Amino acid sequence: MASTQDEVDKPKSKRIFINHVDQFQGKNIAKYLARCVVGASLEEPEEEEDNASVTSSVLEIPKEGCYEVIGTLKDREKPKPDFVKELILFENKDQLYEYLVECDIIVYDITEDPDQIDEAVWAVSEIHSDLEKMEKPKMFILISTVMTWAKSKSLDPDDPDIPFTEDDYRRRKPHPNFKEHLSAEKTVIKLGKTNKAKLVTYTVCAGLSYGAEENIFHYLFKSAWHNAPQLQCFGNGQNCVPSIHIKDLAAVIQNIADSRPKVRYLIAKDDAQNSLEEIVKAVSTSLGTGKVKQITKEEALLSKDIEQADFDQLLVNLRMDSVFVKENMRIPWASEAGLVENIQQIIKEYKDTRHLQPLRAVVLGPPAVGKSTVIQQLCEHYKLHHIKIKDVIDEELENLQAKARRADAEDQDEDDDGQAQEAQEILDQINESKENNGGRVEDQFVIRFLRDRLKSMPCQNQGFFLDGYPKTLDQAKELFALEDEEAEEEGKASYDTAIMPEFVISLEASDEFLKNRVMNLPESVVAGTHNTEKELMRRLQEYRGNNTEDETVLNYFDELEFHPHRIDVTKDGSHMMKNTVERIKKTMGAARNYGPTPEELEEMRRQEEEDRQKKESEDKAERERKEAEESQERKNRQEEWASRLNEVKKEEYQLLQAQSIPLRNYLMQHVMPTLTQSLIDCCKARPDDPIDYIAEYLFQNNPQVD
């Protein structure tokens, strides 16, 4: 009896169909629902502990009772995702329909691919026409877009800020390019009214989705991550853009599937009423340079990164409120306050999902060991920033001088004046320290400049290679130390994790090797650098003094468990130290940024094709050269053979001639006279048998020879 009760209490899974599980929305909704226990959203959340368990029940994969996702692919060559139980690779709609009728819930997203509109309408119409044959009730959920409201008239002309709600859905007017979406919405709602016991339909009007790897806002995140000088804002940017985190949209679908709400048209969006300019500014400030550039529609449409449909959606101006979702659904909000308020969390999610993690490394070693040569090639491979101390100091001094010059400008505001004054004070301190240190900038200023550079957005986004710095133990401790406030917090690392190199590479070589290397450099390369013989000896002596066996900068990293990778460059005889570069690549592994762009891939393909054709041409020329050589050699051999053959024949002829003289003489003397006479007599006698006559004659008249 107990076991029977357990079976009753055990959650039952349901089959849920989701189209295009390889696209942004379909994939993330399917992934979310595959981890949801059927009916989990109906449970009453209790205190904090239970709240955490509800959240975890969504994020973790329970053992049983979850939704079983059945899906289709837009790109059929892609493999089956792990979160999908079964893929439908149908050849015609009849095959697709066989799978659909086996599902309890059918979800069609028509926001990303307009071609799916007809399929969604066909699916709900077919199911509706076969309701009498179906034993189990069906639920159909259409995920549509706020663009079906884009041209709706304001509820109150005197107060345009009043938001639209689900109650106003009959007043909605679509954007001209989204009329088919509106038609699909109406069809779905209409077919759900005839037999509610067998078929219940819902239309979810979803705001522009964000989160995870990003979708419509991806062009912003990608541009900011790639350190674009300014992020583009289309139009004046004052339009209000309804939006929703993709996980929150998935949670709305989960709630509908669990609870079968009475309201059949739902608006799904977060609480924010952000303008496009606010969204662009938030992304630019938190991930990029902080600068925004407003561009016209014509300029925007010239960009390859944005499509017409995306452009239309980004320019939508709608104030909406998802009243039913907020009041009646239990949503474990990922971003209830909107994209701008949760920008740091959303950026982290974007980086994690796309595996965009900074790659930080430092390459140390004695002077002239080849640090810059190696780093330059590594930076090109990994798309990282090459941090040279001299360049950082020069650029920071230029920036300070530029700020200080603003102090004389009359049209600057108070903030700028304050910055200008501060810049001038720092410059005065640096100039004073240079006078006291033989023209060298003190470590405290160098480290300050360097920390600012390493904490800049480009270095924090992609990462960096530090070239030969820090040189001493004290410099390392000061550069990577935590700020005072951070150091007080418990449980934190004893170093600044935002700038600490993950890889420490030490290039090593003997002084004799380095002196010989520099001596063999061309005079044009050495002139004006530190690599003269006298200067090299001074720098080598300074380096060896700072890095004794007991006290070296490498010990600092070693103690923090960042164990240095030591490479002996004296064994590398390759051009541009290619072997050393390859060893470091193996140590550091794959890049952690975007793969090649379509343009770069095309360039790579073009280069590969050129290299292939060049190689084929070289191989062909080599074959032709070898064939010509073989042909000439064969001809020479034939001529030599013919020449030798002629000589042999000549020699044989001469030999035969020499050997035939005695025989001729014998014949002329002893045989020919008798034979000649026998022939003459035979002609006279004319016997019946001439041969017998001649033989008899020769026998009788044979001269006797001694």
Residue pLDDT, tens place only, 252-298: 999 999 999 999 999 999 999 999 999 999 999 999 999 999 988 77
| One domain for residues 59 and 198 | yes
Confidence of residue 85 (pLDDT cuts 50, 70, 90): very high
636-649 pLDDT, tens digit each: 999 999 999 999 99
Say yes or no: 663 and 627 in one domain.
yes
In the predicted model, is pLDDT for residue 333 greater than 90?
A: yes
Residues 389 and 498 in one domain: yes
Q: State residue 419's pLDDT score.
A: 75
Domain closes at, from 561, 588, 615: 588
Half-sphere exposure of 210 (CA within 13 A, CB side): 31
Under the banding of pLDDT at 50, 70 and 90, the label for residue 598 is low
pTM above 0.85, yes or no: no
Cα 211–214–216 angle (5° rounding)?
115
345 in a structural domain: no
Q: Of all residues in the chain, what percent carry a pLDDT higher than 70? A: 89
| Least confident piece of the model among 217-231, 241-255, 393-407 | 393-407
Residues 166 and 52 in one domain: yes
Interval 206-217 mean pLDDT:
93
Of the candidates 602, 363, 609, the one whose C-alpha atom is nearest the C-alpha of residue 464 is: 363
In which band, very low, low, confident or very high, does the pLDDT at 485 lie, cut at 50, 70 and 90? low
Average pLDDT, the chain: 86
Inter-residue contact 572 to 579 (CB < 8 Å):
yes
Say whether both 134 and 98 belong to one domain: yes
Is residue 328 located within the same domain as residue 398? no
- pLDDT tens figures, 20-79: 999 999 999 999 999 998 888 887 655 443 333 333 334 454 557 899 999 999 988 889
Regarding whether 523 and 480 lie in a shared domain, the answer is: yes
**DSSP H/E element including 464:** strand 463-467
C-alpha to C-alpha distance for 193 and 42, rounded to whole angstroms: 25
Residues 201 and 171 in one domain: yes
Burial 397-408 (b: 16+ CB within 10 A, else e): beebeebbebbe
What is the per-residue pLDDT for 564? 93
pLDDT at residue 250 in the model: 96
Count the neighbouring beta carbons within 10 Å of the beta carbon of residue 688: 6
- 412 and 546 fall within a common domain: yes
pLDDT higher than threshold 70 for residue 125: yes
Domain boundary among 588, 609, 643: 588
Regarding whether 576 and 609 lie in a shared domain, the answer is no
Contacts of 493 (CB under 8 A, 6+ apart): 482
Q: Which tens digit of pLDDT belongs to each residue from 127-153? A: 999 988 888 899 999 999 999 999 999
227, part of any domain: no
- In this structure, the answer to whether residues 426 and 549 fall within a common structural domain is yes
The 10s digit of each residue's pLDDT in 213-243 is 999 999 899 999 988 899 999 988 999 999 9
Q: pLDDT digit string (tens) for 356-389?
A: 989 999 999 999 899 999 999 999 999 899 999 9
Q: Is residue 264 part of a domain?
A: yes
| Tens digit of each residue's pLDDT (9 = 90 or more) over 157-197 | 888 889 999 999 899 999 999 999 999 999 999 999 988 88
Question: Looking at residue 3, what is its pLDDT?
Answer: 47
Q: How many residues does the chain have?
A: 706
Res 379: pLDDT: 92
Angle in degrees, CA 551, 557, 560, rounded to 5:
115
Is 660 in the same domain as 516?
Answer: no
Query: Quick check: 515 pLDDT over 90?
Result: no
Q: What is the spatial distance between Cα 480 and Cα 386, in angstroms, rounded to a whole number? A: 18
Q: Is residue 31 a part of any domain in this protein?
A: yes
Residue 360: closest CA among 443, 225, 467 = 467
In a domain, 308, yes or no: no
- Least Cα distance to 71 among 97, 52, 91, 89 occurs for 89
Q: What is the rounded distance in angstroms from the CA atom of residue 225 to the CA atom of residue 461? A: 6
- Mean pLDDT of the region 637-662: 89
Burial-class residue 177 by CB neighbours within 10 Å (0-12, 13-18, 19+): middle
Return the pLDDT at 1: 44
Q: Looking at 542, 568, 588, which one is the last position of a domain?
A: 588
Question: What band does 205 get if pLDDT is binned at 50, 70 and 90?
Answer: very high
Q: How many domains in the chain? A: 3
Cβ-based neighbours of 355, under 8 Å, separated by 6 or more: 592
- Residue 63 is predicted with a pLDDT of 56
pLDDT of amino acid 696: 86
Taking the CA atoms of residue 671, residue 677, residue 679 and residue 682 in that order, the dihedral angle to the nearest 10 degrees is -140
Alpha-carbon span 55 to 60, nearest angstrom: 9
On whether residue 283 sits in a domain, the answer given is no
pLDDT at 492: 58
* Inside any domain, residue 487: yes
Q: Is the pLDDT of residue 513 over 80?
A: yes
Instruction: Give yes or no for residue 489 having a pLDDT over 60.
Output: no
Q: What is the pLDDT of residue 597?
A: 63
Structural domain includes residue 303: no
Q: Which domain holds residue 93?
A: 13-215+242-271+319-334
**Better-predicted residue by pLDDT, 657 or 618:** 618
Task: Answer yes or no: is pLDDT of 7 > 80.
Answer: no
Q: CA end-to-end span of the chain, whole Å?
A: 144
The pLDDT, as a whole number, for residue 57 is 37
- Residue found by looking up tokens 């104030």 in the block: 319
Q: What average pLDDT does the segment 601-621 reach?
A: 87
Torsion of CA 567, 568, 573, 575, to 10 degrees: 40
CATH of the domain at 173: 3.40.50.720
